Amino acid sequence: MGACFLSTFTAFGVAYSFGAFFRPMADEFGSERGETAFFFAITTFLYFLLGMFSGRIADRVGPRRVLIFGAVVMSAGLLLTSQVNALWIGYLTYGLGVGIGVACAYVPMVAAVGGWFEAKRTAALGVSVAGIGVGTLVVAPLAEQLVDRYGWRDTYVIYAVASAVLLSLAAIGAHRPPVSNAGAGSGPPLRELARSSSFQILYLSTIAISTALFIPFVFMEDYMTTRGIEGSPGLIVGIIGFSSVAGRLGMGALAAYTSVLRLYLASFLVLGLSFGIWLAAGSNYQLLVVFAVVLGIAYGGFIALAPAVTAQIFGPVGLGGVLGTLYTGAGVGGLIGPPLMGAIIDNSGYTTTLWTALGCGLVAFLLLTPLGRRRAPS
């Protein structure tokens, strides 16, 4: 649990601090919002897509080797990004470096925790992935200060060194769980998963919710600057991270008393409706804080409950492979969302964008609703 907490703290802390780099990079390269958002979109797509493979590899060789490989690649990618002189080169260095790093630090470690715990699996997973929220809370505001003081290039160098050290420390505790020892298998094959109606529902709803989810991580600083709102956008993103910790721990605790699937459904509904608070906020910083709290709690529930829901439906054996496959849906949503929303902002403004995000959240909830009514998903 501690190793998973540290690995997710580091990997997602770096990934979710991109908003602090967004405007300085866009200004230096003279790029539009949609073009710059591709940095985050490509990274998100890759770490969720590659999680399908990193999870299955970790099922076979254990999470430690996978995590060490991710530490090396992530650090190298950040160092190379600090030296790029063209936007498209940064797509490759940042996208591949951070994308592979997160893929190695997340799915294999979460699956390992799922394999070590049974009776209290949901609670253990909630504590483990709380590292994502704490990392966002700490690293996003820190990135804002470092970029202001040292510039975005030197900040990437600092993050490269820190990533290498912290992920290497996490690898010390990355023990292979007994449930995934040799001979346990890698869970259902992809073809079988694709035919499962339950998996289809989970996958499509994950795409829809992820299309909306990452908007504040990329655009909050730009939104506040455009509206002339005083306050720290990094703090808003940090509050999302802090609130997500409460969501992860709270949902993990509630799962002992009620249906995990129903809690998962509730997380999707609240996440979608939270964008209505952002719409109502306008230029009011206090309401943006409320939005961040509500979105963070729902986001935390989504992240904490997804492994538990997957294990409940498909079993813990080979959970890394199944979970990694499911998370490619989040990658698709992450690839579509930021560039699409950036293009909508450039052409129609933030109001249309936020209504679009709210709609995506409600579609995700409606897609997931049939699964919540099933006793034994097929």
Per-residue pLDDT at 15 exceeds 80: yes
294 closest CA partner among 317, 265, 270, 311: 270
Measured between alpha carbons, how far is 212 from 149 in angstroms, rounded to an integer?
31
pLDDT in tens, 315-341: 766 666 677 788 788 889 988 998 899
Per-residue pLDDT at 59 exceeds 90: no
DSSP one-letter code for 255: T
Per-residue pLDDT at 179 exceeds 80: no
Per-residue pLDDT at 71 exceeds 90: yes
What is the predicted pLDDT for the residue at 184?
A: 47
Banded pLDDT at 376 (limits 50, 70, 90): very low
Q: 312-338 burial, b for 16+ CB within 10 Å, e for fewer?
A: bbbebbbbbbbbbbbbbbbbbbbbbbb
For the chain, domains (ranges, CATH) are 2-172+190-372 (1.20.1250.20)
Per-residue pLDDT at 375 exceeds 70: no
Per-residue pLDDT at 374 exceeds 60: no
Q: Which residue has the higher pLDDT, 175 or 259?
A: 175
pLDDT in tens, 212-250: 998 998 899 889 988 889 888 888 988 988 888 888 778
